[in-house]
Structure 1
């Protein structure tokens, strides 16, 4: 499944039908989705997270978990202990082996059941996205260090054979 399916959907308990808020972020550690973060909308509310294993069903409108007991409510001070060595998935910066920033994550492919990320979709620039579409990088070629994803090659070594064509190609038939 694509990661964007899990974002901005209402979290609902199957047991009582209670709506808990919207999923605002996916927390990733070692290319595995560890937690989904719920935005409750309250100014003084505690952070609410839950593990992806608790998902019973998901579509573009709602995500169903078994019970509200699956939600972990944590104070702001303790968030860091839960999310050590983790990064939020979307819009995260990517640098090449020389430390040059060249893009950010716009989506990822997540394996059903294990929640392992097999590949990331990287936006390099607006014009590059129009011409070629997003670059697709296997998760094995990215390392998380110093709060940045590091691509093990140079930014110009991106392969375009797996990605969809850009907007110009799709709409205008330009090559």
Structure 2
């Protein structure tokens, strides 16, 4: 499944039908989605997140979890204990082997059973996305350290999807 279908959907408990808020972020550790962060709304609300194993059903509008007890609610000081080795998936910066920042994560492919990320979709720039489309990088080629995703090659070694490239090519036939 694609990561973007897990974002901005309402979280509902299956046991009582209660709505908990929208999923606002996916927290990743070692290329595995560990938590989904809920934005419950309200200024004084506690941080809320849950493990992806608790998802019963998901579509583009809603996500059903088994029980509201599956949601972890903690105050701001305790959040770091849960998320210390983690990074938020979307819009995360990607740097090549030479230390050059060249893009950010816009989506990822997640295995249904293990919630492991197999590949990341990287946007290098608006115009490059129009010309060539997003770059697809296997998760094995990216290393997370010092709060940055490092690509183990140079930025020009990135491959593209085989299904065609870029919006300009798909819509206008531009080559």
User: Structure 2 length normalisation: TM-score?
Assistant: 0.98
Alpha-carbon distance in structure 1 between the residues aligned to 2:90 and 2:136:
14
Contact 1:29/1:87 (<8 A) preserved: yes
Which secondary structure does the structure 1 equivalent of 2:160 belong to?
Answer: coil
Q: State the shift of 1:164 in Å.
A: 4.2
Matches within 5 A, 1:38-77: 38-77=38-77
Alpha-carbon distance in structure 2 between the residues aligned to 1:26 and 1:35:
6
Q: State the shift of 1:160 in Å.
A: 2.0
Alpha-carbon distance in structure 2 between the residues aligned to 1:161 and 1:84:
33
Query: For structure 1, which runs of at least 5 residues remain unmatched after alignment?
Result: none
Which secondary structure does the structure 2 equivalent of 1:38 belong to?
Answer: strand
Alpha-carbon distance in structure 1 between the residues aligned to 2:147 and 2:107:
18
Q: State the shift of 1:97 in Å.
A: 0.2
Matches within 5 A, 1:152-163: 152-162=152-162
Give the 3 Å change call, closer, same or farther, for CA 24–164 of structure 1 in structure 2: farther
Give the 3 Å change call, closer, same or farther, for CA 140–163 of structure 1 in structure 2: farther
Contact 1:122/1:137 (<8 A) preserved: yes
Q: State the shift of 1:162 in Å.
A: 3.7
Q: State the shift of 1:11 in Å.
A: 0.1
Alpha-carbon distance in structure 2 between the residues aligned to 1:159 and 1:106:
16
Contact 1:133/1:163 (<8 A) preserved: no
Q: Are residues 1:85 and 2:85 paired?
A: yes
Contact 2:131/2:168 (<8 A) preserved: yes
Alpha-carbon distance in structure 2 between the residues aligned to 1:150 and 1:21:
33
Q: Are residues 1:120 and 2:123 paired?
A: no
Q: Are residues 1:106 and 2:106 paired?
A: yes
Alpha-carbon distance in structure 2 between the residues aligned to 1:111 and 1:55:
14
Alpha-carbon distance in structure 2 between the residues aligned to 1:168 and 1:121:
18
Contact 2:22/2:38 (<8 A) preserved: yes
Alpha-carbon distance in structure 1 between the residues aligned to 2:161 and 2:138:
13
Alpha-carbon distance in structure 2 between the residues aligned to 1:163 and 1:51:
33
Any idea what the Cα deviations from partners look like across 1:16-51, whole Å, max 9, x if unmatched?
000000000000000000000000111010000000
Alpha-carbon distance in structure 1 between the residues aligned to 2:102 and 2:81:
30
